[in-house]
């Protein structure tokens, strides 16, 4: 069975991208301030945050100011993912290193999440046929659900 993933571009007090992998019936989540990239030379800091419910994957819209995460959210990318080199991705995450393949609209190919300390992780794209030097998520600002930008929701 295919597992889903979603990346939401979330303009809250600070802009970040919420990177979420379906696993064990929830969305295991990281906040990535600079966003994921296809550039294999770049390591992106990723802060592990609380799991979200699966139905959050379709959320796009405004969160009122004053509420937690107040700001606007678009579904920046989505698709499916597969663990690589493990049939127990939960254990791989617990051990602090998960290799996986993404089959998204924008993000494709092999990625690695590595824990550095506490809730601090790094998100890296491996050098593969999907790697693109200099690829910047901010140059791909539209929702894959609706074509809207954060300004338009
Ligand atoms: Mn967020």
Q: Establish if 153 belongs to a structural domain.
A: no
Ligand 1 centre to CA of 16 (Å) is 6
Q: Is 49 helix (H, G, I), strand (E, B) or coil?
A: strand
Ligand 1 centre to CA of 100 (Å) is 22
Q: Establish if 12 belongs to a structural domain.
A: yes
**0.95 surpassed by pTM:** yes
Ligand 1 centre to CA of 14 (Å) is 9
Q: Establish if 14 belongs to a structural domain.
A: yes
Q: Establish if 113 belongs to a structural domain.
A: yes
Q: How many separate domains does the chain show?
A: 1
**pLDDT tens, position by position, for the chain (153 residues)?**
689 999 999 999 999 999 999 999 999 999 999 999 999 999 999 999 999 999 999 999 999 999 889 999 999 999 999 999 999 999 999 999 999 999 999 999 999 999 999 999 999 999 999 999 999 999 999 999 999 999 999
Q: Establish if 135 belongs to a structural domain.
A: yes
- Are 77 and 144 in contact by the 8 Å Cβ rule? The answer is yes
Ligand 1 centre to CA of 41 (Å) is 25
Q: Establish if 20 belongs to a structural domain.
A: yes
Ligand 1 centre to CA of 149 (Å) is 16
Structure tokens at 65: 């100011």
Which domain, by its residues, includes 100?
A: 3-146
């Amino acid at each position: 069975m295919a597992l889903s993933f979603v990346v939401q571009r979330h303009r809250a007090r600070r802009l970040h991208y919420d990177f979420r992998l379906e696993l064990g019936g929830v969305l295991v989540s990281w906040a990535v301030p600079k966003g994921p990239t296809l550039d294999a030379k770049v390591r992106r800091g990723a802060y592990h945050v609380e799991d979200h419910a699966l139905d959050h994957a379709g959320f796009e819209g405004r969160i009122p100011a004053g509420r937690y995460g107040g700001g606007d959210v678009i579904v920046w990318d989505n698709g499916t993912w597969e663990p690589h080199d493990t049939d127990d991705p939960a254990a791989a995450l617990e051990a602090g290193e998960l290799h996986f393949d993404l089959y998204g609209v924008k993000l494709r190919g092999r990625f690695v999440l590595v824990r550095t300390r506490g809730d601090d992780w790094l998100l890296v794209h491996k050098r593969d046929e999907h790697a693109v030097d200099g690829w910047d998520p901010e140059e791909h600002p539209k929702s894959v659900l609706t074509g809207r930008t954060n300004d338009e929701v």
